Amino acid sequence: MSTREQAAESARIESRDDLVRWIAAGEKPKAEWRIGTEHEKFVFRTVSLTPVPYGGTDGIRALMEELISRYAWMPIREDDNVIALKRPDGEKGGTISLEPGGQFELSGAPLETVHETADEMDEHLRQILDVGEDLAIGFLGVGFSPKWRLDEIPQMPKKRYKVMTRYMPSVGSRGLDMMYRTATVQVNLDFGSEADMVKKLRVSLALQPIATALFASSPFTEGQPNGFQSLRSEIWRDTDRQRTGMLPFAFEEGMGYERYVEYALDVPMYFVYRNGEYIDVAGASFRDFMAGRLKGFEGEVPTIDDWSDHLTTLFPEVRLKRFLEMRGADGGRWGTVTALPAFWAGILYDDAALDEAWQMIREWTREEREQLRAEVPKRALATRFRATDVRNLAREALGISRRGLKNRNRLNSKNQDEAKYLAPLERIAGEGRTVADDLLQRYHGRWRENIDHIFEEFAF
């Protein structure tokens, strides 16, 4: 989740048009389209296999301080707590931030190719594994904490998480699980115009359950099978339905920036950030804020930064800000992390591939899209759809992506294009076996129902 730093106050919002213009300012010519990949890992003690708290000489803070010392990261602080890291001005590397339960996230820089994304992740993993070895800390890449109870998870000292932790149980049964026990990989992609945004949003929303199936890796809860392939995805279905889901309005006539703004204005707020503090206004209306009627802020209107903050608290399957965020995938290991940006860039960044994907999904009904969203967390590739199943839909989508990446023709030093990164997904779709299937087979086989082995075989 986003990390805010204090800065000069942004402009006050004068009308709804300011909100629309803020999103529209994300439009870029195709030559400037970039790929930004975010991936989260569970952090664990390699001796006890327990979660790592923030404090102490071998805790999360110590991990971040060692990254500062050894690799010249710069701290972002709230009060005296280091809550995120950034690179010095002008250096590549993105930012490192903490999720509520200590999940360690690299928010990658916007890069031109998936090859650069792979290099960025290699360097990130090299650094954290170097420090982690000395602190007896490991990093696990799956979608849901496979062993720990919710009450065992430490809470990170980020102030916005205190607001969310209080509010989440009032709007759904699984919000705290989402915050403290899930991990994901996401990719952020650009659009060239309002029409381009709408087409990409529709295609990526419809195909998001396909990505969920391909990346499913969360079949365990507290050491035992939970009956799902992607429990992480299922949890989002009862987190806060006002700010999650498949955005059915995106497929209606008249969809554009203004329609998304209307949706966002109707999603309740979490907080207002002022003078380094997150002020709890959870459940309040941004419309009231704009009208100067927000309780505690009477007579004050929001700033553009308040609007930007509010958009980060929306969690649909695809989120629109000044770019599009693909949000459907479980966390994973090296190969699947790099496969996600390849999958989506292949579909969305080549005109012919995007047209082909649109033809694939254009006649799917709202009910069919919702059916996929509801059934994929449990059945993944085996989910039935019309006369076929999600496995075949995944193979079709991967074919489109491969052709799109071939057309992009972005080559590395070995003259390989970006389609090479689709290999793990093509193997999953070809065999009809997800990472979750593999984990369950190991659990019932050579692991002898001992979940501890996952920390050996699925750690980075």
Q: State the Cα angle at 431 between 444 and 356, rounded to 5°.
A: 135
CA distances from 208 to 178, 328, 355 (A): 18, 6, 17
Residue 336 tokens read as 């699947």
Other CB atoms within a 10 A radius of the CB of residue 248 amount to 12
Question: Is there a domain that residue 7 lies in?
Answer: no
Report if residue 10 sits inside a domain. no
Task: Report the relative pairing of strands 74-78 and 81-86 from DSSP bridges.
Answer: antiparallel
Residue 173 CA: distances (Å) to CA of 241, 267, 377: 11, 18, 17
Reported as type and span, the H/E element at residue 187 is strand 184-189
Say if 299 falls within a structural domain.
Answer: yes
Count structural domains, the chain: 1
The sign of the CA dihedral 437, 375, 185, 242 is negative
| Dihedral pair phi/psi, residue 433, rounded to 5° | -130, 120
Give the other-Cβ count within 10 Å of 126's Cβ.
10
Question: In DSSP terms, which residues pair with 105 in a beta bridge?
Answer: 40, 97
Length of the chain (residues): 460
Report the alpha-carbon distance of residue 262 to residue 187 in Å, rounded.
25
Q: How many CB atoms lie within 10 A of CB 16?
A: 14
Q: Tell me whether residue 11 is in a domain.
A: no
CA distance 350 to 86: 32
The CATH number that applies at residue 413 is 3.30.590.20
* Contact status, residue 316 vs residue 369, Cβ threshold 8 Å: no
Q: Is residue 405 one of the residues assigned to a domain?
A: yes
**Residue 274 token pair:** 């002022």
Would you write out the chain's pLDDT as a tens digit for each of its 460 residues? 666 666 678 999 999 999 999 999 999 999 999 999 999 999 999 999 999 999 999 999 999 999 999 999 999 999 999 999 999 988 888 999 999 999 999 999 999 999 999 999 999 999 999 999 999 999 999 999 999 999 999 999 999 999 999 999 999 999 999 999 999 999 999 999 999 999 999 999 999 999 999 999 999 999 999 999 999 999 999 999 999 999 999 999 999 999 999 999 999 999 999 999 999 999 999 999 999 999 999 999 999 999 999 999 999 999 999 999 999 999 999 899 999 999 999 999 999 999 999 999 999 999 999 999 999 999 999 999 999 999 999 999 999 999 999 999 999 999 999 999 999 999 999 999 999 999 999 999 999 999 999 999 999 9
Residue 9 lies in a domain: no
Token pair 């090479």: residue = 420
- CB of 213 within 8 A of CB of 383? yes
The DSSP line for 223-263 is TEE-S-SBHHHHHHTTT-TTSEE--GGGGSTT-SHHHHHHH
End-to-end CA distance of the chain: 22
Closest CA to 314 of 363, 270, 375, 256: 270
Residue 325: inside a domain, yes or no? yes
Residues 376, 307: Cα–Cα separation, whole Å: 33
CB 212 within 8 A of CB 343: no
Q: In this structure, which long-range contacts are made by residues 219-226, counting pairs with CB atoms below 8 Å and at least 24 apart in sequence? A: 219/436, 219/439, 219/440, 220/144, 220/146, 220/147, 220/439, 220/443, 220/451, 220/454, 221/144, 221/146, 222/147, 222/148, 222/149, 223/146, 223/147, 223/451, 224/449, 224/451, 225/440, 225/443, 226/144
- The CA distance from 306 to 127, in Å, is 34
CA nearest 40: which of 210, 162, 178, 160?
178
Residue keyed to tokens 């690299």: 106
Q: How far is CA 311 from CA 72, 213, 404, in A?
A: 31, 27, 30
The CB density around residue 133, as the number of other CB atoms within 10 Å, is: 11
CA torsion sign, 105 to 106 to 112 to 118? negative
Is 363 part of a structural domain of the chain?
yes
Domain extent, residue 37, equals: 16-457
Q: Pairing relation of β-strands 318-320 and 104-107?
A: unpaired
